Amino acid sequence: MRIGELADRAGTTTRALRYYEARGLLPARRTAQGHRAYDEDDLRLLREIRQLQDYGFELEETRPFVECLRSGHDESDDCPASLDVYRRKLAELDTLIGRLTTVRAEIADRLTQASGLPPTDTGPRCELTPQEER
């Protein structure tokens, strides 16, 4: 298939495909006329890249998964390098979740403190406060 068809089937752009090709993630095969040529295996690679990116993986983090498929494995995470990326990503997510949990608790505390204060007529008013509360 040609680049436009692959892009359509994968839900991406030809520009993205050229970028993946330049980064060595998508093979660069050419027809006798010089057109890029792709097959179903390339579509599978592209879908794997896109899914991992949807999960928050950086493009370079998809490389072990792509290489695993290109080496003939049935699944992109059959290779040890892919499992290492999963482990790093999970650790990164755990750290982020911990930070977000802390921030959420601090904001909830501030809300509790702020909403428990008696209203005063001094100081600036929040523009978002409904008229009937003023």
CATH number at 92 reads 1.10.1660.10
Domain count, the chain: 1
Alpha helices per DSSP H over the chain: 3-10, 14-22, 40-54, 63-70, 80-115
User: Model confidence at 134, in pLDDT bands (50, 70, 90)?
Assistant: very low
Tokens found for residue 112: 């509790």
The pTM is what?
0.76
Assigned domain for 124 exists: no
Assigned domain for 128 exists: no
Assigned domain for 57 exists: yes
Q: What is the pLDDT of residues 67-114, one digit of tens each?
A: 999 999 999 999 999 999 999 999 999 999 999 999 999 998 898 888
Assigned domain for 84 exists: yes
The range of the structural domain enclosing residue 92 comes to: 3-114
